[in-house]
Structure 1
Amino acid sequence: MLRERRLHGEDAASVLHSLAGRTVNYSLPRGEAPAREEGWHIDSLRRLLAHERPGDPEPGGAWDIACRLVRDYQFPEPGILRALYHQGDTLLGRDILLEGRFLGLRFDMGVRITSVTDEQQGAGETARRVWGWGYRTLEGHLEEGELLYQVIKHLHSGAVEFLITGYSRRAPIRNPVVRAGFVLFGRMTQRRFYRASADRLRSLTRAELLGAPPARPQPSPAGDGLVIVPSVSATT
């Protein structure tokens, strides 16, 4: 199988299904936040996507489009990360098989969506409509931690933003070559992923606002309702 099409095969589907038997690969003391002195990286990136009229989100507007793209996991930069999941699964509790990509290598990493946000926060000039979800890493992942992806509309100004927040640290890695590569390049690649994915979501959102066809998950040849994201051209 061509390396670029690893997620299209039965082996990837089997790995995805196996994630149901895996647990989150880390724990934090109840009520405690991750601490930098314990090796955790604390991250936050905010990117303006577009503007709508002030007030509630507009049907078919920037917030609506961005929420769909985030829900479907269309925003990751495909040169860094692609993913396989079962489209019929509910969002909360969904397992996702991530395929990390670096220097021609491919790494399978499992995550599970453990939180979904859908609410209005604040009041007056600080009122905002927030939708998003977060996942935690599963056993076998190269990292430990949680990432949250949120689409926010500021109701007073109409600004629509994408917010990535989370915490992470390197998981125990047995392979010495992979471990050394992750120590040297993992953090740099992680930061590049945040920036590139936020830029991609902004580009996809604005393109749809200008009339481009919506990006849709690509059905997997393995069937069973599996889809591959983000969508890329057949030649990628």
Structure 2
Amino acid sequence: MAELRHRPVNYDEAQAPPFVVEGWHRDRRVIEVGHEPPGEPVPGGLVETAAVLVNSYEFSDPRILRAAFHHPGGLVGRDMLLEGRFLFLRFLLGVRITAQLDEMRDGPNGPERVVGWSYQTLRGHLEQGRLGYEVAKELGTGRVEFRIVAHSRRAPIANPLFRLGFRLFGRYTQLRFYRHALARLHRLMADPPAPPQPGTDGLVRAPSGVEPGRFETFTLRFLHPGH
């Protein structure tokens, strides 16, 4: 975690969407989480509940991706150490939250209130790009959605075995993460857990309530040095 503060974003934004789209995956995944009365978000309602779950990274499927970050602290500038899990391998990947949303937009069904945040990948990540998590409410209908909006591509990977593995399974795992994240947040809305609490080292490990797996001590962990 301490080292992440020295790592820059691992791509040139001028060579990424919306300026350059060739060679990039562009994704938008949406799930409805319920309805509130029309108008601005209700205090303590669905939007606020979903936003808390999103801000604390509770939506992530721990079988695919876990996170650690310092607490307390604001969202923008937060470094997060992600632990990607595949079979008996674990990959430590750094990202930084660089934008926070709380804005009005014109949506397909009228004005929307959108809250959320997005992160960018840091040097050493297996991917390059930006990933955003949004909670949006249609003010006219009261419909509330959770959205994942992203653009990404494979980063240069020196290790030929990892490079082949990412080419074969990277996109599949990415789309699987999106599906599980949407479904998990929808499920958590029915019985939201308490936000995860920091440990004695000041780090929050998310999602909350996850214990080490049965074969945790036998997995191999890699911190990709990047380029």
**Alignment TM-score > 0.5, same fold:** yes
**Residues of 2 paired with 1:32 and 1:50: CA distance?**
31
Q: Which amino acid aligns with 1:105?
A: L
Q: Does 1:219 align with 2:165?
A: no
Which SS does the other structure have where 2:128 is aligned?
A: strand
Percent identical among aligned pairs is: 50
Q: Which amino acid aligns with 2:6?
A: G
Q: Which amino acid aligns with 2:202?
A: G
Aligned to 2:178: 194
Q: Does 1:96 align with 2:80?
A: yes
Contact 2:9–2:122 at 8 Å: present in 1 too? yes
**Which consecutive residues of structure 1, in runs of 5 or more, have no partner in the other structure?**
1-15, 209-213
**Residues of 1 paired with 2:212 and 2:64: CA distance?**
16
**Which consecutive residues of structure 2, in runs of 5 or more, have no partner in the other structure?**
214-227
RMSD of equivalent CA atoms: 2.0
Q: Which amino acid aligns with 2:194?
A: A
**Residues of 1 paired with 2:165 and 2:54: CA distance?**
29
Contact 1:217–1:229 at 8 Å: present in 2 too? yes
Displacement of 1:177 in angstroms is 1.2
Picking from 15, 29, 36, the partner of 1:52 is 36
Q: Does 1:181 align with 2:165?
A: yes
Cα–Cα, structure 1 residues 154 and 104, in superposed 2: closer, same or farther, change >3 Å?
same
Displacement of 1:95 in angstroms is 0.2
Aligned to 1:134: 118
Displacement of 1:225 in angstroms is 1.9
Picking from 18, 31, 41, the partner of 2:25 is 41
Cα–Cα, structure 1 residues 197 and 32, in superposed 2: closer, same or farther, change >3 Å?
closer
Q: Deviations over 1:100-159 (max 9, x none)?
A: 001121000000001011122239951111100000000000000000110001111111
Larger relative helix fraction? 1
Residue-pair matches, total: 213
The runs of at least 4 aligned residues of structure 1 exceeding 4 Å deviation read none
Q: Which amino acid aligns with 1:28?
A: E
Q: How does 1:1-236 map to 2 (within 5 A)?
A: 16-29=1-14, 33=18, 35-37=20-22, 39-122=23-106, 126-208=110-192, 214-220=193-199, 223-234=200-211
Contact 2:62–2:210 at 8 Å: present in 1 too? no
Q: Which amino acid aligns with 1:27?
A: D
Contact 1:49–1:206 at 8 Å: present in 2 too? no
